[in-house]
């Protein structure tokens, strides 16, 4: 057995883990990064990046089909699965190479292997022990399934769906959250018949109701079917098909069933509880400064309760590295972290929904306004419909910004700044948005809630 000593040992090389490692190294710390697979984790290799590459391919397919509507002669001959796969894998490979270069340039020691937390604090990898003045737990998440629903054959998770070498003729998607609606969008653009089964009453149920209803309308227009408000009961498969049965007895049969019911924290069997870390339903319990109950052991990313977003992992990794270095970074509430669903159309939000704002301030204490993208010139050029919704405290700051429409994910950073800085609409209304841009829709909404609408009544 060999002992190794570092200022910081990070267990898990995904978004949160490598962000902590990079920032700590930048601050002059010696860092060991333990990863059993590839640095970059789920987001880079099996999640954010490859799925968004698929979504771009889907956008190109739709644009080609509709090219005649804008006077462009183009012929859509179908989808080449191997070509799409090569494109997707090429993007991932470039990003991975770049990340490897960053890690190497910062002098970070990458340890390949399965790590296990031990008292000390330390991480054991095989016969070697990596001791750290501090240890960061960043082991990420895995695709959940439901009791009695076994993955395999024609029953897939998102990781398996990425590896399909065919375009399914038909798919049933179990779960109408982010992962489910993004794959539904891709497959529909590729020509598949798609049905989403969501146990709750709306698609993307964590979003403002206006966005959920807007996405449902858009999906109906695209021919994406969905069942809402009835729970899944069971699934059976043959060599050629899979059938999903709901609790009301309704059945759906398709080529594949995608299980997209969320992601669970990857904490089992890693020595966390044995080392004294508190676990609740698989999640690591940490305080607002991401300290676990064990001295000098921290937790970041998907294993910490809250939104499971790669950029939340980045922020938390940076935060912990700076906290360890004594820089006293600012705590960012989860509500101030932007969310984007990259479907067609996109859904983006930050801050409180109208319902959450009403709960916090009273229904009479808030103002909500919706600006329709039909009034936005750039959106008309792009051929997208949708809305910008702003929720403010009456005579107070903006509490939430919610958008639906193609490419609106690129606008949410402005919303994050407004919400995070507790800006009043009257203060930001004078700022001018370039014309013609979709960002003008945000400006119009802020003008309206400030009481001086321009291109709206």
Catalytic residue IDs? 435
Tell how far CA 285 is from the center of its chain: 21
The token pair at 67 is 């090219």
Contacts of 202 (CB under 8 A, 6+ apart): 176, 209, 212, 213, 216, 228
Question: What end-to-end distance do the CA atoms of the chain give, in Å?
Answer: 73
Distance CA 7, CA 46 (A): 30
Q: Which helix (H) or strand (E) covers residue 423, if one does?
A: none
Burial class (CB in 10 A: 0-12, 13-18, 19+), 427: middle
**How many C-beta neighbours within 10 Å does residue 156 have?**
24
Tell how far CA 82 is from the center of its chain: 26
Three-state SS at 275: coil
Q: Give the gyration radius of the chain's Cα atoms.
A: 23
Distance CA 457, CA 450 (A): 13
Contact 208, 399 (CB under 8 A): no
The token pair at 284 is 């690591």
Measured in degrees and rounded to the nearest 5, phi and psi for residue 262 equal: 105, 180
Distance CA 274, CA 282 (A): 14
Which residue in this structure is represented by tokens 């509880």? 273
Distance CA 218, CA 31 (A): 48
DSSP 99: H
Which residue in this structure is represented by tokens 């509430």? 333
Contact 417, 411 (CB under 8 A): no
Contacts of 187 (CB under 8 A, 6+ apart): 167, 168, 171, 194
């Amino acid at each position: 057995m060999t002992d190794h000593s570092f200022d910081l040992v990070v267990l898990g090389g995904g978004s949160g883990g490598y962000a902590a490692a990079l920032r700590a190294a930048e601050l002059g710390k010696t860092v060991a990064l333990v990863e059993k697979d590839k640095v970059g984790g789920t987001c880079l290799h099996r999640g954010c990046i490859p799925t968004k590459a698929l979504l771009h391919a889907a956008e190109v397919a739709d644009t080609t089909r509709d090219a005649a509507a804008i006077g462009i002669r183009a012929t859509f001959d179908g989808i080449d699965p191997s070509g799409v796969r090569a494109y997707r894998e090429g993007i991932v490979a470039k990003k991975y190479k770049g990340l490897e270069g960053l890690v190497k340039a910062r002098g970070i020691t990458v340890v390949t292997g399965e790590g296990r937390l031990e008292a000390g604090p330390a991480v054991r990898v095989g016969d070697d022990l990596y001791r750290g003045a501090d240890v960061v737990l960043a082991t990420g998440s895995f695709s959940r399934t439901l009791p009695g629903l076994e993955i395999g054959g024609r029953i897939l998770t998102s990781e398996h769906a990425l590896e399909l070498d065919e375009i399914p003729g038909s798919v049933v998607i179990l779960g109408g959250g982010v992962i489910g609606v993004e794959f539904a969008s891709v497959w529909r653009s590729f020509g598949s018949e798609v049905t989403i089964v969501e146990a709750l009453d709306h698609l993307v149920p964590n979003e403002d109701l206006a966005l959920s209803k807007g996405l449902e309308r858009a999906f109906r227009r695209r021919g994406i079917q969905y069942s809402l408000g009835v729970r899944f009961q069971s699934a059976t498969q043959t060599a050629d098909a899979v059938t999903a049965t709901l609790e009301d007895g309704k059945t759906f049969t398709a080529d594949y069933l995608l299980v997209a019911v969320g992601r669970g924290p990857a904490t089992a069997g890693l020595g966390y509880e044995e080392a004294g870390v508190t676990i609740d339903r698989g999640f690591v319990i940490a305080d607002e400064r991401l300290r676990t109950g064990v001295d000098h052991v921290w937790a970041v990313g998907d294993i910490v309760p809250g939104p499971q977003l790669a950029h939340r992992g980045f922020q938390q990794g940076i935060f912990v590295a700076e906290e360890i270095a004594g820089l006293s970074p600012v705590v960012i509430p989860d509500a101030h972290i932007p969310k984007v669903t990259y479907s067609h159309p996109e859904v983006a939000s930050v801050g409180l929904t109208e319902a959450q704002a009403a709960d916090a301030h009273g229904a009479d204490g808030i103002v909500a306004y919706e600006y329709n993208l039909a009034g936005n010139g750039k959106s008309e050029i792009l051929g997208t419909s949708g809305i910008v919704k702003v929720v403010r405290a009456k005579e107070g700051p903006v509490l939430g910004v919610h958008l639906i429409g193609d490419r609106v994910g690129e606008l949410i950073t402005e919303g994050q700044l407004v919400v995070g800085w507790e800006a009043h609409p009257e203060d930001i209304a004078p700022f001018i948005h370039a014309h013609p841009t979709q960002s003008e829709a945000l400006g119009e909404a802020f003008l309206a809630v400030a009481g001086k609408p321009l291109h709206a009544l």
